[in-house]
Amino acid sequence: MLKLQFLGAAGQVTGSKYFLHTSTSRGMLVDCGLFQGGRKLREMNWTDLAISAGNIGHILITHAHLDHIGFLPRLVKRGYHNPIFATKATIEIAGYVLRDSGHLQEEDAKHANKHGYARHSPALPLYTSQDAEEALNLFQPIERGNKKLIQDNVSATYYNAGHILGSCFVHIEKKYEDRDPITVLFSGDLGRRKPIYLKPKDSAPAADYIICESTYGDRLHKNIDALDELKAMIVEAINTSSVLLIPAFAVDRSQELLFCLNALMRDGKIPDTLPVYVDSPMAAGVTDIYDKFSEEHIFSQEELNEPDKNPIRFKSLKVITTPEQSKHLNDINGPAVIISASGMATGGRIMHHLLHRLANLDTIVLFTGYQAEETLGRELIEGNTNVHIMGTQVQVRARIRKLNSYSGHGDQSELLDWLKSSPKAPKAVFLTHGEDSARKVFKEKIESELGWKVILPHLGEIFDLEAESI
C-alpha cells in the first residue's frame, strides 16, 4: 500500500502535514505544522488528525518553521512516541521554536483568561512547554544526501532546500518485490535562486510524484536590491525621527535583516550609531546556531569568530531577553529599529509593540515577508485602519510598509526551474502550501510550460500512488 493523504496546507499556506500510508496499519508523516492565521484556522489545531497517533510510525521534518513543526507537541500529547527525523540544524532551531511556542500557548491562554476575551472558559493552551520538551526528546538527526531506511522497504533522502538554516526537501522511495519502486518528492519550502547568505537549494531528483509548495506560485519577485530597499526605510525613519518596528520571523529573516543592517553600516550608508534592538530571545538564540553550522551558509568561521568581522553582530545592536527589558522599549524614541517576532504578527512580543505603537504617527511598521490570509499582518498591509490586538481596538496611524526583496520562498519562475531540474516528468505534481488563487495560476503555468499533470488536493483527500493513474 502507498497512499498519500493531505492533512494540512491543502488550500492554505499553513499547517503542512502529509501522511503516507505505507501499510494498512502504519505510515509516516511528512511535516507536522500548526495552522496559523484567523480564528477559523487556529481552531483547526484543536481538531484531532484523521490519523491516530498510534498509526504514525515515523515523522520526517523538512524545516523548523512553526507551520511545519508546531503541531508536534500536540501530537505527542495525543500519544505519539516514535522518532522524528530532521537535520541537526533543524533540531537545534526546533528547540527554540517549540519551547517558545509552548510558552506562548500558555501565555495566550493566561492572557485571554485575565482579560476575559476567551471564547472557551477557561481558555486552555493547545499544549504546554512540557509537551514541547517531550516532542523535542523524540528528534533524531538525519544527514543530507544519505539514503536512510525508515520503515520496511521505505527509505528517505534529504536534500538542501535553501529556505532557512537546516531546511530540506525529502525524497521517499518505496521498494516492492513484484514491481518497480515508487518515489515521492516533498518540496518542503523552497528558497530563492540566490539566497542572501544560505547555500542555494539542490536540484530535484527524479520522482513519480512531486508535492510542491506554491506560496508565490502566482507571482514574480520584483528585482530590487535588498540593501537599497532596507536603506530607504532606515533613511525615512531617521528623517522623521521614527521607530522602525519590524515584525520578523525569528529564524533567518531576523538574521538576514541584521546582516543587511551591518552591511549598510560598514559601507557608511547608514550611521553605525543607529540603535537596533532585537526583542526576541528566540532570534538571539538562533543567531548563535549560525556559528555551529557553517556548512549551511557562506560565512567563514574566521568572520564568525571575530567580533569586528562578524556579519550578523555589530556594536549598536542590543539583544533584549527579559520581558522587563522588552517593556522598557515602550519608552524609546526614534530614530531606532526594533525587530521582534512573529513575522505575520500572529503572536509573540511584536503584539505588545504593535499595541503600544500602531496609534503613533512616529512609527513605521515594516513587514518583511509573506502575510497569510486572516493575519494581523495581512490586515495592516491591506490598509485596515482599525484593528484588534489582544482584545483591544487600535486606531492605526503608523505608516505601514513592506519590503519586497526579502523572501525565503522562490517565486513562480524559481519554483518552475526547480521542477524542471528533475531529470524526468513525474506522473503528477500536487500543489500545496499556497492560497487557492496562487496554486491555480501555478497549475496552469506548469501545465502549459511542462505539460505535466497537476492536482490541487483538498484537505483530507487521499490518493492511491500505486494505482495506474490518479
**Residues binding Zn ion (CB under 5 A):** 65, 189
Bridge partners for 430 per DSSP: 211, 455
Residue 270 near residue 235 (C-beta atoms within 8 A): yes
CB of 164 to Zn ion, least distance (A): 6
Q: Closest distance between Zn ion and the C-beta of residue 432, in Å?
A: 12
Please work out, in degrees rounded to the nearest 5, the angle formed at the alpha carbon of residue 164 by the alpha carbons of 159 and 170.
25
Q: Which one, 65 or 174, has the nearer CB to Zn ion?
A: 65
What SS3 class is residue 360? coil
Instruction: CB nearer to Zn ion: give 26 or 65.
Output: 65
Angle between helices 88-115 and 281-292 (to 10 degrees): 180
The Cα 344–Cα 347 span in angstroms is 8
| End-to-end Cα separation, the chain, in angstroms | 14
Cβ distance to Zn ion smaller for residue 125 or 166: 166
Which lies closer to Zn ion via its Cβ, residue 167 or residue 183?
167
Give the whole-angstrom CA distance, residue 272 versus residue 91.
34
Contact assessment for residue 313 and residue 258, using Cβ atoms and an 8 Å cutoff: yes
**293 near 166, Cβ under 8 Å?**
yes
Nearer to Zn ion by Cβ, of 14 and 340: the residue is 14
* Beta-bridge partners for 400: 365
Give the whole-angstrom CA distance, residue 15 versus residue 346: 14
To the nearest whole angstrom, how small is the minimum distance from the Cβ of residue 62 to Zn ion?
A: 8
134 vs 189, beta carbon nearer Zn ion = 189
Q: How far is the CB of 63 from Zn ion (least distance, A)?
A: 6
Nearest to 157 by CA among 87, 82, 94: 87
Q: How far is the CB of 186 from Zn ion (least distance, A)?
A: 13
Helix (H) or strand (E) holding 6: strand 3-8
The least CB distance from residue 433 to Zn ion, in Å, is 9
Q: Are strands 27-30 and 386-389 parallel, antiparallel or unpaired?
A: unpaired
Coil vs helix vs strand at 177: coil
Q: What is the CB-side half-sphere exposure of residue 75 using CA atoms within 13 A?
A: 31
Q: Decide whether 183 or 375 has the Cβ nearer to Zn ion.
A: 375
Give the amino acid at 392.
Answer: T
Minimum distance of Zn ion from residue 113's CB (angstroms): 31
Cell of 234: 532606515
| Unique residue bearing C-alpha cell 501545465 | 447
Q: Smallest gap, in angstroms, from Cβ of residue 11 to Zn ion?
A: 18
Q: What is the Cα–Cα distance from 140 to 239, expressed in whole angstroms?
A: 50
**Which residue lies nearer to Zn ion by CB, 65 or 192?**
65
Rounded to the nearest 5 degrees, what angle is found at the Cα of 380, between the Cα atoms of 379 and 383?
A: 95
Nearer to Zn ion, 97 or 337 (CB): 97
Distance CA 415, CA 407 (A): 13
Residue whose grid cell is 528585482: 223
Instruction: In whole angstroms, give the CA distance from residue 168 to residue 313.
Output: 26
Phi and psi based region of residue 15 (left: phi greater than 0; alpha: psi -120 to 50; beta: remaining): left
Which C-beta is closer to Zn ion: that of 189 or that of 414? 189
Smaller CB separation from Zn ion, 108 or 189: 189
